[in-house]
Amino acid sequence: MESEPVETHSPQAATLLALTRLMSRWSSLDLQRHITAECQVSLDPTAVRMLYVMGVRRSPATPSVIADELHLSRPSTSKLITRMSDAGLLQREADPADKRSIFVSLSTAGRATFQQLFDAGISMFSQAPNGLSDDEFIQLSGLLTRLTDAFIVEATPLDTNFPL
């Protein structure tokens, strides 16, 4: 039985559908396994997600922030941080304001591994048949950055003004 197509009667709906399709494909296990295999990086999908989350951050994060971003429990996040720290991909630093808390960031090796996976993604975009020209990528990047910046706000779960 075929489902009804998603309504794309507005430019916003068409854009959301295209972004959802792109993110669904990009984050799929088979594509990420393909990329890690091509890069000869031996990481499970959760560790790859951690690399991406930490790689795009501009500052260290607490384990609770990481857990929220990865949609993992606090204990699972703690184990992942330990495993990736032991592998040399993450580093932990004590919070100067609260010695009981830590900040996590990519180590030099973690940043290099993230960059390797990121570069593989860039290569995939560049080699896509019927892909975009450099000028189209510049235009798209600017528009997506503006859209993303509009959604990156500090919001509480009960904040009804969250832009959706």
Rounded mean pLDDT of the chain?
87
Ranges of each domain in the chain: 23-151
The CA angle 153-11-13, to the nearest 5 degrees, is: 65
C-alpha to C-alpha distance for 24 and 64, rounded to whole angstroms: 25
Residue pair 122/132 in contact (Cβ under 8 Å)? The answer is no
List the CATH code of the domain at 23-151.
Answer: 1.10.10.10
- Cα dihedral sign for 18, 133, 48, 41? positive
Phi, psi of 103 (to 5 degrees): -115, 145
Q: What is the pLDDT of residue 162?
A: 43
pLDDT tens sequence across 61-74? 999 999 999 999 99
C-alpha to C-alpha distance for 82 and 50, rounded to whole angstroms: 12
pLDDT digit string (tens) for the chain, length 164 residues: 555 566 667 888 888 899 999 999 988 989 999 999 999 999 999 999 999 999 998 789 999 999 999 999 999 999 999 999 999 999 999 988 888 889 999 999 999 999 999 999 999 888 887 888 889 989 999 999 888 888 776 444 444 444 44
